[in-house]
Structures are given as C-alpha cells and as structure tokens.
Amino acid sequence: MTTLAQGTIDTFRGHLGGSVFEPADAGYDEARQIWNAMIDRKPALIAQCHSADDVVAAVHFGRDQSMLVSVKGGGHNIAGNAVCDDGLMIDLSQMKDIKVDADKQRACVGPGCTLADFDAAAQLHGLATPLGINSTTGVAGLTLGGGFGWLSRKFGMTVDNLISVDMVTADGRRTRASATENPDLFWGTRGGGGNFGIVTRFEFQLHSVGPELLSGLMVFPFDQATSVVTQFARFTETMPDELSVWLVIRHAPPLPFLPESVHGEPVVALAICYAGDPDAGEKLIEPLRSFGKAHGEHVGVQPYADWQQAFDPLLTKGARNYWKSHNFVKLTDDVIQVALEFGGKLPSPHCEIFIASIGGQTGRVAHDAMAYSSRDANYVMNVHGRWETPEEDEHCRQWARAFFDAAKPYASGG
C-alpha cells in the first residue's frame, strides 16, 4: 500500500492539463466506471489526460510513487483491465481528436475515440477502415488486440490497417512506431494489447466504403437452427471477400419487423453486410432465404455508419458481462452441435452466441508479420454472457465457461 501526501497529489494536479480525481471528488465515480458493470474497482487516483504530455506526466508520477497503473481508453473493456484497485488509472477517454486526410486516405485517431467517433469522421469522406460492430467500443483496445468487423474480409484486420502509433513507454519517453521506425515495437503493438506502452495516437489506412451499402438481418425460428447453421457454415466457405455473413443465436429482441409473438423467443439470425454494389449483393444473398422459413427480415441499402450501430441497443452500458471466444478454421458438424446445444439453454435473455465469418484478406497476411498471428481463423465465435443482477453471476458465468470448454477441442487456438 502506497500512502500519498496531499501535497504530492496537489503538485501532480497542477502539472496535468486534464483532471485528477480522488475518491471523494465529484466526477470520480463516473470516471472509474466502464461499460461492463461487473467491474467495480476503485483506483486511489484517476488522471484524466487531455494530451500526450499529460500521459507522460501520469506515467512518471505512477512510477515515482510506486503505484500500480491501469489504462482506460474508450471504456468498453469487458475484462476490466482498465481499472485497478488502489492504484493510478490513466484515463484517455477525453483524448478524442480525429484528423482525416481524404486525399491520402489516412486518419489520425486519439485513444479515447469510440467506433462511432471514428466512423462519423471518416464517412464524411466516404471512407472507413475495418472496426468492430458496436459503436461504443473503444478504438484503442479493439486495435491493440487485433480487431475485426464487417469490412475485414475485404480489407483485413484492424491491425492490418494500422500505419503507425505514437506511444509513451514505461520510462515516460514519447516515441513513434511504424514499419520503418522502431519496427520491433510496432510488431508487438499490433496484437500485443497495451503491454508495450500507452498509445496516444493511431494512424490508419482508410478505404472507400459506402456511404451506403447493403446490410441487414434475417431471423429464423430456433427449431430450424440445425438447417440454418449448417447451411451458413457451408455458404460462408465460398462467398466473395466483399460479403460478410455472421450468425447469432439469442432470444429475439423486440425488432419492429418481427411479429410480437416472436419477441423473447429463441431465434437464429443471419447478419449481412456487402461492401460492394448493392445489386450484386442482393443476388449473392438470395440463397440465404432458403435456409429456413424466416420469422422476418430487414435487409436493404442503408448508411454504413448506421449499420455499425445496429446492435447498440442490445449492448448498452451497465449490464453485467462475461465473454469468451474461440477461433475456428472450419465449422464442423461437431462445432455446430455444441453451439446448438448451448444455444438451446441460454441462461439470460441477453446472452448470445455470435459467430463471425472472417477469412478473406485476414488470412492472406503471414502469421508472423505481427503479434496478432491467428491467420488461419475463418470464424470467430464469441460467447456473450450478459445479464442484469449479481444473483445471476454464477449461473451465467458457468454457462459461458462450459460452452467454451465444450467447443475447445474443435478450435484452432489464438
């Protein structure tokens, strides 16, 4: 336990352009919270940085005072590493600057930005880069772990589109890493998480996307899941890079295109995004409609930025979350059987099994090109354990763990 003199804290506060919160301060509780309500830790101090210089000052302070340090970016952080008990939380959530160079198709993005921030700025120019699917996700955490989204089959992982980073290392030194500057550091940063320093600026390659493209949902009854999931597995093996089809098993939310009698019932849904000419996309997705007799569908041309936010109502802040994940080269009959078994006993109306088809360009990068190495992954299965009350914790976590363990023999690691 480190005891800090008030004068030491006040001096630090005076050197920081941003805010310093102690537990008794107004704004402390809001600053320490992240999206996952299961994480309820209380740092001794929160340094809410506004600049790279603030980050340098915070790193020096944490080291000089021998404090445990955690780093918060956009604030999704399912695992909770952003928040530490009794240490110093370096909060980057206010560092939201974005600069888009439309001519060079580049974007410089601050570490506090969310996907919504990035997408909005880039789509003003009809540009985008592969990101996740929930607009409140932080760009920093997503990128440093690898990152994938609707555009990944065509343009690769998020880290494949990272050009450079500005970073503060553990000794408080500001540095830049790219393919030509500190290339070893750049190698580790792309997939190694936040282990190598605190990134204060990301530079991304952008691509012409949208601003409107074909996307939407087809929702089938769960009693047709064997047919839908099996045909999904085979269809996605040969589809073109421009097309992404993902699969979700969950209880049906109150979507306006579904009959009210379906709301709350178990369903299997296909989520579709085509990053090309919509007419060509319509022809490609027509076979999906024959996978079963759908409860309903909502597929059409809409702004890419809107599709990026389509799942936000299902992933609001404040619920309790416990997630696990597997990669697969192929969705074999054994994998499908496990997914259907556990999809048939979801422990909460908010839990879901989410299978994303990646492959395409993500698999054309050498496995040792960067720290992210799972280039044989054609599918990512996310086990989304999500519920509302602490009383449900053990039951929902056990479901997620048991599902993860049952699927593990068929996974490809990573």
Cβ atoms of 275 and 129 within 8 Å: the answer is: no
pLDDT at 2: 66
pLDDT at 108: 98
pLDDT above 90 covers what percent of the chain?
A: 95
User: Could you give the dihedral angle defined by the CA atoms of residues 277, 278, 280 and 281, in that order, rounded to the nearest 10 degrees?
Assistant: 120
Q: How far is CA 396 from CA 173, 387, 389, 393, 409, in A?
A: 43, 8, 10, 6, 22
pLDDT at 194: 82
**Quick check: 1 pLDDT over 70?**
no
Quick one: which of 358, 359, 216, 362 has its CA closest to 281? 216
**Share of the chain residues as helix, strand and coil, in percent rounded to the nearest 5:** 30, 25, 40
- Find the range with the poorest average confidence among 261-270, 311-320, 326-335: 311-320
Mean of pLDDT values over 223-238: 97
**Quick check: 266 pLDDT over 80?**
yes
In 169-319, at which residue ranges do the beta strands (DSSP E only) sit? 174-178, 198-205, 207-208, 212-221, 243-251, 266-274, 296-303
Per-residue tokens: 132: 């996740």
Cβ atoms of 72 and 92 within 8 Å: the answer is: yes
**Quick check: 76 pLDDT over 90?**
no
Q: For the segment 279-330, what is each residue's pLDDT rounded down to a tens digit?
A: 999 999 999 999 999 999 999 999 999 999 999 999 899 999 999 999 999 9
pLDDT at 3: 79
Q: How many CB atoms lie within 10 A of CB 368?
A: 9
Q: How many CB atoms lie within 10 A of CB 332?
A: 12
Cβ atoms of 47 and 90 within 8 Å: the answer is: yes
Cβ atoms of 74 and 95 within 8 Å: the answer is: no
Can you list the domains of the chain with their CATH numbers? 7-91 (3.30.43.10), 98-208 (3.30.465.10), 212-410 (3.40.462.20)
State the Cα–Cα distance between residues 9 and 204, nearest whole angstrom: 37
Tally of residues, the chain:
414
239 phi, psi to nearest 5 deg? -70, 155
**Quick check: 413 pLDDT over 90?**
no
Sheet holding 162-168, edge to edge: 98-101, 106-109, 198-205, 162-168, 174-178
Q: For the segment 373-412, what is each residue's pLDDT rounded down to a tens digit?
A: 999 999 999 999 999 999 999 999 999 999 999 999 999 9
State the Cα–Cα distance between residues 362 and 368, nearest whole angstrom: 13
pLDDT at 77: 86
State the Cα–Cα distance between residues 294 and 125, nearest whole angstrom: 36
